[in-house]
A = this chain, B = another copy of it.
């Protein structure tokens, strides 16, 4: 009996693993190092994680260990949501041709997206990634304005394509450097930027830096095509733009003949809870000229989009050159996009983001009263940042401590978070939108314990 039971167990385990894991982890890692460009980095590079399964806000490794996922903003409605898989499979079985043929999905999807946006953003271009969307946005802006220059925010990242590295200080500073047509405005960071919480009107003051920059550009005899910014700068450190900033910037940029591009690739689709788009946090009076969207749009499926006005789209058409994107707007991508919108609504994920995000921020703010290392807690909905500093006066970034928190959250408690910001000292939360109150409590409790430990050992 004893022997038989052992046999049963040994038989069962490899069999279960067989379906989910085809190679041993060390083999996967060795093949990865050999076959995949090393510029494609792994999380936890010292001890990478192999994930074989996921559901909702949970990831499972090859041994069945469960991780709480606080960072997969792409898997917006939850990993492997059955409604999305069902919609994708049904459409894949029926038709997946290109957008040169008429199809209902693309127009129905565009109509649904239009309903989430201000009325003037009513023309859509479907593409495969946030990077493709931002590249097209740049083309649209330059074609419409017939100007070349672009203003971006410091530390911004807009994608991996050549054109986007050019407008991403986060990348171009490490690579080819700043092009003469790109101009960098200060990041409107009211925690550690040039104007802070104590300023009477930081939104206006930061907008004035853009106004000054435009004047500088004009003095050089150059002209602005676009102000290009994430509605909530992410890589920049989970920054919340101060009120009034975008409205004022839009006014200055439009006066200069340029357009306002809101990059919503990371922030759209209800992540901020109170609104469907993060730019809407700037008030009803503000409307961008171009909005780009991506990551959460297809819940992992490569799907992205540019929305713009009739005038800008018209200028793009006027050059009489076709824009053809092979996979963009195909029936399967659009079926998935529609299913994602349905789930956001049916499961009230915006409401959940509002409630759970507020709770998470509250709990983190409570931690801040007990841990000197927590310099700032900021966020809206399920877009939350916890900025660590070695001293609150100087706001010296606690980069190493942040890395240690990330590492220990994973090792001690199977919780995945990561860092952002120019000094990688902002612990970020951008979980799937089904993240619960209990998940928030668990994560904060773990951080508390880790910070107590770190304080005790004086790290």
Contacts and interface: CB of A to CB of B under 8 A. Distances in A.
Contact of A300 (B43, B84, B96): B96
B97 A72 contact: yes
B326 A104 contact: no
A39 B107 contact: no
A179 interface: no
A28 interface: yes
Given A38-B313, A88-B88, A96 B125 contact: no
Nearest to A138: B162
Contacts of A41: 100, 322, 324
User: For chain A, which range describes its interface: under 10, 10 to 19, 20 to 34, or 35 or more residues?
Assistant: 35 or more
A3 interface: no
Contacts of A128: 128-129, 132, 302, 327
Contact of A101 (B51, B74, B135): B51
Contacts of A160: 136, 323-325
B75 A40 contact: no
A401 interface: no
A459 interface: no
A254 interface: no
A456 interface: no
Contacts of A52: 94-95, 103-104
Contacts of A195: none
A53 B95 contact: yes
Contact of A96 (B20, B79, B95, B111): B79
Nearest to A161: B135
A102 interface: yes
A337 to B, nearest CB: 13
Interface of A: 20-23, 25, 28-29, 31-32, 34-43, 48-54, 59, 72, 74-75, 79-80, 82, 84-85, 88-89, 92-104, 106-108, 110-111, 114, 122-126, 128-132, 135-136, 138-139, 160-163, 171, 174-175, 294-295, 299-303, 308, 313-314, 316-317, 319-330, 332-333
17 contacts: A20-B94, A23-B104, A29-B102, A32-B107, A36-B110, A37-B317, A40-B324, A51-B95, A54-B97, A72-B98, A85-B92, A129-B302, A130-B326, A135-B162, A160-B325, A301-B327, A301-B332
